[in-house]
């Protein structure tokens, strides 16, 4: 079963002709998949700008010092069209972000998964594509 699904996906990738390949920049010139990080901190600033939105969180280190981390996310237009604004994340609220660190060691993270204090994802639902399509009545 697993193998069959894999073949279907490959077929789809070929048929799509690369429509899924986003890469405006090569992501891997900036961040490294060998640096998985989990940051737990509080929101300091939200910058909803194109092409990448940024969220700044203050993270308390083990030694008690505080470091500001910049988390690079996706474009804000999709968020704004779904009702999320610069005020949706409150300054001071707790946020846990999982992602990948920068190659050069600076305090920047490519954010992959975001979790608020109540355990809910920050952005749209986990199965974002499917959920939105269902809501619009496109799918059964």
Partner 1 sequence: MRYRVVIVAAGLMLSVLAGAAQERPATGYRAPRTPDGYPDLQGFWTNLTYTPFERPRDLASKPFYTEQEAIDFFNRSIAGSQDQIVHYVNGDFGATPVQTGARPNLRTSLVIDPADGRIPPLTPEALKRQQAQLAADKARGPLAQTWRDDRGTVWCVFHDRAVPAVVAPYGSNYHIVQSKDWIVMTYEWNTERRLIALDGRPHAPASARTYAGDARGHWEGETLVVETTNFTSKRNFLGQPGTPPAVDASPALTLVERFTRTANDSILHTYTVTDPATWTRPWTVELPMHRINGPMLEYACNENNQDGFAALKNARLEEAGKLAPLEPMRRGDAKAAIAEQEEKGAATVIGAEDEKK
Partner 2 sequence: MKRATVAALLGAALLVVLPRSGDAQGQSYTAPRTKSGQPDLNGFWQALNTAHWDLEAHEAAPGPVLQLGAAHAVPPGLGVVMGGPIPYKPDALEKKNQYAKNVLKEDAEIKCYLPGVPRMMYMPYPVQIVQSTEFILMMSEFATAQRTINMTTSNRPPADTWMGWSNGRWEGDTLVIDSRGFLGSTIGALDQEGAIEVRFLDRAGNYHTDGLHVIERIRRTGPDHLSYEATIEDPNVYTRPWTISMPLYRRVEPNMQLGEFKCEEFVSDLVYGKYQKGSGQ
* Closest among 123, 98, 128 to 113, alpha carbons compared: 98
Structure tokens at 90: 């409150």
Residues 69 and 59 sit within 8 Å (Cβ to Cβ): yes
Q: Does 49 bind partner 2 (CB under 8 A)?
A: yes
Task: Classify 79 as helix, strand or coil.
Answer: helix
With CB cut-offs between 5 and 8 Å by kind, which of partner 2, partner 1, none does residue 55 bind? none
The answer to whether residue 45 forms part of the interface with partner 2 (CB under 8 A) is yes
Phi/psi at 30 (5° precision): -110, -45
Q: Residue 41, interface with partner 2 (CB under 8 A)?
A: no
Which region among 12-20, 76-84, 93-101, 112-120 touches partner 2 (by CB under 8 A)?
76-84
Nearer to partner 1, 90 or 113 (CB): 113
Pick from 42, 58, 86, 132 the residue near partner 2 by CB under 8 A. Answer: 86
């Amino acid at each position: 079963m697993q193998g069959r699904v894999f073949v279907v996906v490959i077929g789809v990738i070929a048929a799509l002709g690369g429509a899924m390949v986003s890469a405006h920049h090569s992501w891997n010139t900036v961040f490294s998949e060998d640096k998985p990080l989990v940051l737990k901190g509080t929101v300091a600033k939200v910058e909803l700008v194109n092409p990448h939105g940024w969220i700044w969180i203050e993270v308390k280190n083990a030694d008690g010092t505080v470091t500001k981390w910049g988390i690079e996310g996706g474009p804000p237009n999709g968020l704004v069209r779904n009702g999320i604004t610069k005020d949706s994340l409150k300054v001071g609220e707790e946020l846990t972000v999982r992602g990948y660190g920068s190659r050069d060691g600076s305090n920047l993270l490519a954010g992959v998964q975001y979790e608020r204090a109540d355990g809910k994802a920050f952005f749209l639902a986990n199965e974002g594509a499917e959920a939105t399509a269902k809501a619009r009545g496109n799918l059964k």
